Every structure is written in C-alpha cells, then in structure tokens.
Amino acid sequence: MTTSLIILAAGKGTRMNSELPKVLHPLGGAPLVAHAIQSGASVSPERIVVVAGHGAEAVEKAAQDYHPDLTMVRQIEQLGTGHAVLQAKDALSDFDGDAIVLFGDTPFISPDTIEEMIAARAKHAVVVLGFEAADPKRYGRLVMSGDSLDRIVEFKDASEAERAITLCNGGVVAAKASVLFDLLSQVTNDNASEEYYLTDIVSIARDQGLSATAVICAESETQGINTRADLAKAELTLQTQKRSEALENGVTLIAPETVFFSYDTVIGRDTVVEPNVVFGPDVTVESNVTLRAFSHLEGCHVSQRSIVGPYARLRPGSELSEDSKIGNFVELKNATLGEGAKVNHLSYVGDATIGANANIGAGTVTCNYDGVMKHKTVIGERAFIGSSTMLVAPVTVGRDAMTASGSVITNDVPAEALAIGRARQENKAGLAAKLFDRLISIKAKRKKDI
C-alpha cells in the first residue's frame, strides 16, 4: 500500500505569543515544519500535502526550501485539526493509498514509529499514535477497551475520570485516505472549542463498525510545541540527541553540553570539537579535524586534518581543503582554501579563492564590497600575503608572489613578483625627542593655568 502525508501547519500557535507562525519557529536551525516533513519523508510517501493557513506564504516557502516536491493547500480559517485535514481532500482525490496525518508542531516522531503505524493498518481501519504521559496536561486522552481504541476525548471536553487517563494522543493518524475523508465529512464542531476535531473520527469509525487502535511510542517522540517553554525544551532534546549521536560516531566532544548542532550537521570520525563550538545549518566536517573553542560554523565544508579556531567564524560558502588552518578571529565567507593554506590571525577573507599552501598574514582583509557590488580576490599557490594587506577586489595575486606588510593592493600582482603598495618610510633624526619635550611643556602649562 502506498502512503501520502498530510502535514498540518495552518495554526497560529497563539500560545507562542509571536508574529511568526508557530511551525516556522526554528529547532536545531530548521523550522518545526521541516522536522515533521523530514520524519514523514523517511517512509517515501507518494505525495506530501502541507496544509498552510496562518502566514501561509511564509510557511509554503519555508516548507518548499526543505522539500521541493510538496503539494501546498490552504486552510483559510483555522476551524480545527479535522477541518485542516479535509483541505487535503482534493489534492488526494485520485490517491488510492493510506494517508498519514502529521502535525507541524510535533517534530520528533521517528521513522520507526511511522512504520509501526503503517504495519498496524493491516488490522485496523484507523490507527492513532499514543503515549503514556508523565504529566498529561492538555493533551487529548485515548479511551481504550483492551487493544481497541473507542474514542479520543479532548482535555477541554473530558470528564474528571477521563482527565485521569494518562494515555494521550500524540497527533499522528493513519487511515486509508478515502476512509479518512469520509469520516471527516461527518465530524461536527459541537464541543467546548467549537472546532472540528480530527480526533472525533475515532468514535465515528467505531459507530460504523470500523476498528481503531493505538500504536504506543515513547513520550519523547510526541513532544508537541505550543509555548516558547516547550520550544526551549525541544531544543534541549534535539541537542542531547545530536551530542550522543556525535559521540557514538567517534567524534570527541570535550564538553558536549556546550556544543550546539544543527538538524543536519555532519562530522567525521576522530574530529575533536572543543568547548562552545556552534554549528549553524549545512555544515560538513570531515575526519581528524580540530575545531577549537568558541568557533561558529555555518554553510561550510572542512576537509580532513584542518584546524579551525579558536574564535573562528566560517560563514556560508567556506570550503577548506585538507590540512588547511584557520586561526583566531578569522572570518571566512564564500571562500575556498587550497590544501595546506593558512589564515592564522585576525583576517577577513570573503569572495576569495586561496591557492594551496598560500599564507595569509595577520590582519589581511579582502575588500570585497564597494558599497554596491561584491568582487572576487584570487590568490595563487604558495603566495605570501604580508600582514595587514588590504586586497581591493577584484584583484589577483599570482602564484609564489608576495605582498609587503601594510600594502593596499589595487592592481593584479604577477606570479613571483613582490608588490609594495604603501608610502615609503622616512626617519627624521632627533625629532621624536624634540616632540616629546614640546608636548610635556604644553601639558605642564595647561595644569598651571587651571
């Protein structure tokens, strides 16, 4: 049986107290909705339908950034989770398989759990995901008779006895798409919230003699995000997971609790990550790299045996070849470093290509921006850029060339040439001593005048 996903992402998320739609709040560097799509995509669905509403344009754009092949539908008024799923009906009218409903605000559902729900569909018309809640709060409660799920009751509508149930609704539902839409067409909003509840399909299915059950997963998977506090808790969960994964994969983290990963960070074996390193999205670090303390990396690739930091910043488009070295207070952006190249101290290298074994002296700046456009700097193999060189792009320094310290390089430098671009030094004998005397007497006179 083929499956399609329906991802609910139309809600405002009032309790987030935010201008940003709830499902766009970032977790591990990616919006919540991207996490739900990623979990679901693991079962290779035939179609993925995202239901957007509140902030629809932004939600659609963000979702498509993470998964280009999505069907977007809109829920104009947010009348409840059941009403939201119904908006996917037309998009799936010619689809004959199972639909799996995932919530955009529930990012930790594992692929194994979704597989288990698909398997349970062999025996039951409706399969819901449940979990034993340590503190059930406002979650919907699952009313079971043995293995059979009788109905789901929302917290607001539950009796005292029902509120005492600790088996809760995790939000994932699996059913044949046509059955799901048929059941949903019978749902009313006759409840405490006056919403069309997706959860009501269970009792309607049972009344029609269809069977329903719950697949139980760990509570950590069903953590839903409704408040900023929930989001902070989810971030901790994700970081804890990523840190253990890195350690298991043979990465040394000297102080794991101080290292922050993105949802997609990749790090090779025997790489050492010192304390307080932060990974933004889209970072790949190969094996045997040393990432020294307080470095910040995003959108970059670091090859084997390179050393980065302490206090280095690798911005998007930074590409380090093997054995390269980036030292303290160095910023790279859209820059490629050849094998063994070094930028050791206090430099900005942007929109640049640095050849193998080139050495960029302290305080070098690629002046890449003229206030309107960006320009490129190219430095050849084994070139030596003297400290505090300003490379005014577009500019090329040839292989084996040198620039003198403090130069402002505005013209290309041929291979093997030495470029000096600064005023010639003049020494005035005895002038410093005279100047000191004069300044000291001026200062003394001022004191007397006061």
Give the binding site for ligand UD1 (CB under 6 A): 8-11, 23, 51, 53, 75, 78-81, 83-84, 103-106, 139-140, 152, 154, 168-171, 197-199, 224, 226
Q: Which residues of 218-246 are buried (b: 16+ CB within 10 A; e: fewer)?
A: ebebbbbbbeeebbeebbebbbeebbeeb
3-class DSSP assignment, residue 79: coil
Select from 23-31, 92-100, 103-111, 249-257 the region that touches Mg ion (CB under 5 A). 103-111
Exactly one of 35, 296, 301, 345 is catalytic; name it: 345
CB 195 within 8 A of CB 81: yes
What is the smallest separation between the CB atom of 244 and ligand UD1, expressed in angstroms? 25
In angstroms, the CA 79 to CA 195 distance is 5
352, interface contact from ligand UD1, Mg ion, none, CB < 5-8 Å by kind: none
301 is catalytic: no
Burial 421-432 (b: 16+ CB within 10 A, else e): beeeeeeeeeee
Task: Write out the DSSP string of 25-52.
Answer: SEETTEEHHHHHHHHHHTT--SEEEEEE
CA distance 86 to 28: 31
Any contact of residue 80 with Mg ion (CB under 5 A)? no
How far is the CA of 285 from the CAs of 289, 291, 309, in angstroms?
7, 9, 14
- The least distance separating ligand UD1 from the CB of residue 364, rounded to whole angstroms, comes to 49
Helix (H) or strand (E) holding 7: strand 3-9
Q: Quick one: which segment of 217-225, 274-282, 322-330, 369-377 binds Mg ion (CB under 5 A)?
A: 217-225
Q: Which is nearer to ligand UD1, 231 or 291 (CB)?
A: 231
Selection from Mg ion, ligand UD1, none that 84 binds (CB < 5 to 8 A by kind) is: ligand UD1
- For the CB of residue 333, give the shortest distance to ligand UD1 in the complex, in Å: 35
Scanning 102-110, 296-304, 331-339, 359-367 for contacts with Mg ion by CB under 5 A, the matching segment is 102-110
> What does 79 interact with, of Mg ion, ligand UD1, none (CB < 5 to 8 A by kind)?
ligand UD1
CB of 256 to ligand UD1, least distance (A): 29
- Partner from ligand UD1, Mg ion, none contacting 9, C-beta within 5 to 8 A by type: ligand UD1
Q: Please give the Cα distance from 365 to 376 (Å, whole number).
A: 12
Give the shortest CB-109-to-ligand UD1 separation in angstroms: 11
Count of CB atoms situated within 10 Å of the CB of 255: 12
Measured from each CB, the residue nearest to ligand UD1 is 140
DSSP letters for 408-443: EE-S-B-TT-EE--SPPP---TTHHHHHHHHHHHHH
Number of residues that bind Mg ion (CB under 5 A): 3
- CB 82, min distance to ligand UD1, A: 7
Q: Which does 304 bind (CB under 5 to 8 A by kind): ligand UD1, Mg ion, none?
A: none
Q: What is the dihedral of CA 280, 23, 71, 117, to 10 degrees?
A: 100
| Residue 87 vs 368, nearer CB to Mg ion | 87
**Distance separating alpha carbons of residues 189 and 101, to the nearest angstrom:** 20
User: Which helix or strand (DSSP H or E) is residue 252 part of?
Assistant: strand 252-253
Q: Which stretch binds Mg ion (CB under 5 A): 101-109, 115-123, 160-168, 353-361?
A: 101-109
User: CB neighbours (10 Å) of residue 284?
Assistant: 15
CB of 119 to ligand UD1, least distance (A): 22
Of 174, 176, 199, nearest to 188 by C-alpha is: 199
355 binds, among Mg ion, ligand UD1, none (CB under 5 to 8 A by kind): none
Q: Does 224 bind Mg ion (CB under 5 A)?
A: yes
Three-state DSSP at 86 gives helix
Which is closer to ligand UD1, CB of 53 or CB of 309? Answer: 53
Q: Binding to Mg ion by residue 11, rule CB under 5 A?
A: no
Which residue number, 168 or 391, has a Cβ lying nearer to ligand UD1?
168
Nearest approach in angstroms of CB 148 to ligand UD1 is: 18
- What does 81 bind: Mg ion, ligand UD1, none (CB cut-off 5 to 8 Å by kind)? ligand UD1
Tell me how far apart the alpha carbons of residues 221 and 68 are, in angstroms, rounded to a whole number. Answer: 25
Residues with catalytic roles:
345
For Mg ion, the binding residues (CB under 5 A) are: 105, 224, 226
